[in-house]
A = this chain, B = another copy of it.
Amino acid sequence: MLSFECDYNKGAHKKILERLLETNEEPAKGYGFDPYCASAAEKILKACELAGGQVQFLTGGTQTNQIVIDAMLAGYEAVVAADTGHVNFHEAGAIEYTGHKVLTIPHVNGKLDAGDLEQYLKDYYADDNHEHMARPGMVYISHPSEYGTLYSKAELEALSSVCKTYEIPLFMDGARLGYGLMSKDTDITLPDIAKLCDVFYIGGTKVGALCGEAVVFTHGNMPKHFLTTVKQHGALNAKGRLLGVQFDTLFTDDLYFEISKHAIDMAEKLKKAFREKGYKFLIDSPTNQIFVILENDKKKELEKEALFGFWEKYDETHTVVRIATSWGTTEEELNALIELI
């Protein structure tokens, strides 16, 4: 069975497993104080061109969203997100679990529009009763978004500028960041993100690692006693080395970018194939996720040999499926799928 339903269906990039084996017998301090975490952080900050940045490794995306948001908000503050934002829909209420409301603004192609955000904040402060409402305390965006779309540099600058005006931090969920950075249709670099966001993370789980996300605080703004907060949330790994070794490998010789580019190449090839065979797309996604409209019978037929993600019903006779390539998609798998369609 071909597996194209997500980008976390395989283990890790082989170099990571090899490096885990190589370093396995060396004793190291726990809780992230090992030399691998230190080296990985250094390499990441260098790639971000950040002098005063700080890095903390966490295990998964929902956990990272939950802890970063909870740690950066005051108790009475809420996070603003597009209504399609992962924190709003697909995290089982993990943000609310920590006591904070997710305030939503209707998305534009899966993205938060800077003009909409500005209007939202303006309206909030204009309301005589705003002290009776949850206070917007930070802005969450995902890049690539849940729709596989990307912010342009101008869009990101506009968001960053609104956040600066209202003095609230901008947080980017980069669970699939590599696939955004290596897209053929982006004008944003990692240093751009580091410059425009207050905090963001570089996703490992979906980009070559067994698990792990690298949170980057871009200007010495890591919340005080963040380690205690991470521990309090049950997210401090005794063997921090597992995360350190993985990110150290990913940020050695540009491996993270290379394998992200591979996923993009695979996706482009696949989109071309679909397009040539006359298929239509729901969204024109420039990243590793493809949203294809399938005739229902065709879908049934294809699903005998390949797994896709259900996205939504298109009409009575068509369905949209999400097809994801990844760092681990092989040419063989891709060709097999192309042959099927």
Contacts and interface: CB of A to CB of B under 8 A. Distances in A.
Interface of A: 1, 3, 6, 8-12, 14, 17, 20-21, 23-31, 59-67, 70-71, 74-76, 78, 89-94, 96-102, 128-129, 131-135, 205-206, 210-211, 224-225, 227-229, 231-239, 241-242, 307, 310, 328
Contact of A78 (B9, B31, B93, B206): B93
A90 B132 contact: yes
B131 A225 contact: yes
A5 to B, nearest CB: 8
B75 A234 contact: no
Contact of A134 (B11, B61, B96, B134): B96
A103 to B, nearest CB: 9
A94 B231 contact: yes
A60 B211 CA distance: 13
A89 B133 contact: yes
Contacts of A20: 11-12, 17, 20, 210
A250 to B, nearest CB: 15
Given A23-B11, A30-B9, A92-B228, A238 B132 contact: no
A132 B76 contact: no
A70 B67 CA distance: 18
Contacts of A25: 10-11, 328
A28 B269 CA distance: 24
16 contacts: A8-B30, A8-B239, A9-B27, A10-B26, A11-B25, A12-B24, A17-B17, A31-B132, A59-B59, A60-B238, A78-B96, A91-B132, A92-B132, A92-B135, A96-B100, A210-B242
A79 B250 CA distance: 42
A131 B228 contact: yes
A93 B234 contact: no
Contact of A27 (B3, B31, B64): B3
A238 B96 contact: no
B205 A238 contact: yes
Contact of A238 (B8, B14, B24, B235): B8
Nearest to A61: B238
A228 B9 contact: no
Contacts of A307: 27
Q: Which 5 residue pairs of A and B lie closest in terms of their CB atoms, listed nearest first?
A: A63-B234, A3-B27, A93-B134, A11-B24, A93-B101
Given A70-B75, A96-B101, A211-B237, A225 B26 contact: no
A127 B233 CA distance: 21
